[in-house]
Each structure stands twice: as C-alpha cells, then as structure tokens.
Amino acid sequence: MKNFRSDNEAPVHPDILQAMVDANQGFSESYGYDVYSEQLTEQFQQLFGCWCEVLPLTTGTAANSIATALTTPPYGAIYCHPNSHINVDECGAPEFFSGGAKLITVTGDNGKIDIDRLNDRLENSGHHGEHESLPAAISLTQCTESGTVYSLAELKAIKKLADKYGLAVHMDGARFANALVTLGVNAAEATWQSGIDLLSFGATKNGAMMAEALVIFNPVYNKQIKRLRKRAGHLISKMRYVNCQLLAYLKNDLWLQLAHHANQQAQLFVKSVNQEVTLLYPVEANEVFCRLPLKQINSLEQQDFLFHRWPGQEGVIRLVFSFATKTEDTEQLIRAINNI
C-alpha cells in the first residue's frame, strides 16, 4: 500500500519515539512539574524570540477549543473560513468549550478568508445591539484546509482589521511547520510579529505520536489558561511524554526538516504529473487536491494507492504527503496517473 490519505496516518519519527523511551526511565513529577516542562517553555520562548505561555496538549481540537474559550465569551462570535477545521471538523467543541460562542463563516478563495468580505461582516455587525453575538476573535488555519498558505502581508492585513474592531487573532497551526517552510521565514515572523495572539502548534501530523501545544503570545489572553485546560479534561498526569515529544520535535530543527520533505514530495508530484490533471488549488505545502476521471480513481485504488475521496465533490481526491512519504512511492503514483 502506498499511503497518501493523511499525514495523521504516518508513523512516529524515530527520534521522537526514542525521546519517549528515554523519558520512560524511572519516576518523574506529574501534571507538568517534570524537568521537561521547564525545558519546553524555554525552548518555545527561544524559538519565537519572545515571552510566551506554552500549554502542552494531545489534540488539536483541545488547542483550538481552549483558544476559543480564552478569547471569546459565551455571547461572542469567532470569524473563520467555512472550510476551517473549527467549523467542520471539531464536532462543536469550540462552541462547547467557550460556553456557546457563535462561529461566523467568511468565504474566500483557496481556503483563505477574504479580507474585504471580513471587513464588510465586521463593519455591519453591532447594529442589533445585545440581540446579536459580540465579535471577539478571528481564527485562521495555517496551512489552510485547501493546502494553501497565508502570506505575511495577508496576516498583517487581517491583524490590522482585528485591531480596528478589537478582536483576537488565533492561528490553527496543525500544519504550521509546512507553512513555515513555504514562507521561508522564522517562527516569530510568521506568528506574533504578524499579529497572531494565540497559536495552536501542531506536531502530530509531522512526526509526533500525540503532541500539540497552545502557545499564547498576548498576555491579555493568558487568564486562567491552566484551569481551562483542567476543566476541559486535558491536564495530563504523565505530561512528560508529551513534553519530550515536542522537545525532540524542535531539536536541531527536526520539525522543519520533516516538513520540508513533505512539501518537497508534493512539489515533485505537481511538477511531474500529467498536465491534464486538474488542480483545484495552488499547491503551497504538502496537500494536493485534484480532479480525475472516476475510472482513473478506481484504477489507482486497484493498484493499492490510498488517498481520500473528497466528500461532496465527485471525482476529487486529496493527496497528503508526509515526512515518511518515500520518493519512490511518489514517483510510482506519478507514473500510475500518467500511464492511465
């Protein structure tokens, strides 16, 4: 089987797995008072070049939902793209964690929020007073659910709009490493220096076993963050096993090397596949959405290629390239498509 279905299905990177084995020697303090926790805060502050609060977690849903609870009251509104993970893939968790906040979608091409439409939404909010939800936050997905990447200019433009209306800016960075490689900038430039207040920092899709983090850059949104985590059921007793994953992930820029390989495989596919293949979105990271004849899709599946048939769009498949994708598997996929 040649698996292009999801980077969630990729194995754990050996260095990260070894870090967990190393952490499994003897006893250690629980609930985040282990030696790895202090190292993790220092590592993240060094990575981003600023003060930040780091909340280790095991799922992106928890990171996104706690971010929602920190920024948005029960009567508040969060603006996001219709295809964003918080809108279509979290089973209402952001609304639940916040106590009832409303998600308001703003459309835009290639999975990105259109800033003019966002401005129009915000400009026309508030006319019904207490009858409507209070705008509180903007949530951006980086990389987007279409595999595209917000530029720094786009991020800063959205931040300018957020400041105008007094909103927080949250970034869902499940594939943040892939976006960073594409942008070719450092972590600070891609986050707080471009106006991001909170970042859901993903590692699971890029080589970790189950390691995510919520990173707070703006101390305004750092109120009772640890109690929110506890109340959400995500205060992990043996937290050292999450912390050590994140430390190994960042060590010697492993995370960027893994993302670079995944992105590189996607580019190899795009540059080599038959030009008759229709790409639905620009390929800017490690995901490819393309349209193929159903006969061709069936043939690929019969040849043991695994991928995701995109729901609601007949003839559309999603290919995800991971750190573990072998070049020979990508080349086999290219040949299979080109030869059908």
Name the pLDDT band for 130 (thresholds 50, 70, 90). confident
What is the dihedral sign for C-alpha 323, 324, 326, 331? Answer: negative
User: Distances in Å between the alpha carbon of 111 and those of 97, 239, 300, 318?
Assistant: 25, 34, 27, 14
Q: Is the pTM of this model over 0.85?
A: yes
Q: What is the pLDDT of residues 134-173, one digit of tens each?
A: 999 999 999 999 999 999 999 999 999 999 999 999 999 9
SS3 215: strand
Mean pLDDT value across residues 117-128: 87
Mean pLDDT value across residues 229-245: 94
Q: Which domains does the chain have, with CATH numbers?
A: 2-8+254-339 (3.90.1150.10), 14-252 (3.40.640.10)
Name the pLDDT band for 128 (thresholds 50, 70, 90). confident
Q: What is the pLDDT of residues 28-85, one digit of tens each?
A: 999 989 999 889 999 999 999 999 999 999 999 999 999 999 999 999 999 999 999 9
Name the pLDDT band for 292 (thresholds 50, 70, 90). very high
Higher pLDDT, 65 or 311: 65
Mean pLDDT value across residues 20-31: 93
Largest CA distance in the chain: 61
Q: Are 222 and 44 in contact (CB under 8 A)?
A: no
Q: Is the pLDDT of residue 21 over 90?
A: yes
Name the pLDDT band for 102 (thresholds 50, 70, 90). very high
Name the pLDDT band for 1 (thresholds 50, 70, 90). confident
Q: Is the pLDDT of residue 275 over 80?
A: no
Name the pLDDT band for 127 (thresholds 50, 70, 90). low
Name the pLDDT band for 314 (thresholds 50, 70, 90). confident
Q: Is the pLDDT of residue 265 over 80?
A: yes
Q: What is the mean pLDDT of the chain?
A: 95
Share of the chain above pLDDT 90, in %: 90
User: Distances in Å between the alpha carbon of 293 and those of 6, 61, 145, 233?
Assistant: 21, 34, 23, 45
Cα–Cα dist 340/333, whole Å? 11
Mean pLDDT value across residues 305-324: 94
Q: Are 265 and 332 in contact (CB under 8 A)?
A: no
